[in-house]
Amino acid sequence: GIIDNETIVSDLAYSVVNAELVLLGILQSKMHMTWMKNMSGRLKSDYRYSAGFCYNPFPIPQISNLRKKAIEERILTILDIREEYPESLATLYTNGKMPDNLIQAHNLLDMEVDKLYKNGIFNSEEERLITLLKLYEIKKNNG
């Protein structure tokens, strides 16, 4: 979500200061979730997000102003929908209990973010990961 500069972030959470809204959209996307699931560590069954292993190396291609605006609109819709529900995010995102309008909003966000990585539809999480790993290799080799 978005917080103001008066909010103190716990040492159990991460924040990105003065980030563009498009970044929140990308981090909420299925593309980033695929990367996170495969690159993050685990404690019991919980993911352990890491700036060093997950956030920093995540490959983000160049983003046109048109695509940036589309992603920003999609994440704003998600944030607006979340405000309609009094539940915590953990409850709101429980499998099988997520409201249909929130599911639809995430699907639309995923479609916009996917266009950064491929002209077409990803057929599997494996295909997403292969695409991301190829881009990571290019990023790593180009410094």
Q: Supply the pLDDT for residue 46.
A: 79
How confident is the model over 65-87, as pLDDT tens digits?
999 999 999 999 999 999 999 99
Q: Which residues of the chain are under the pLDDT cut of 50? A: none
Long-range contacts of range 126-132, CB-CB < 8 Å, 24 or more positions apart?
128/30, 128/31, 128/34, 129/34, 129/35, 129/38, 132/31, 132/34, 132/35, 132/58, 132/59
Cα(105)–Cα(30) distance, integer angstroms: 12
**Do residues 132 and 35 make contact, with C-beta atoms less than 8 angstroms apart?**
yes
pLDDT score at 40? 86
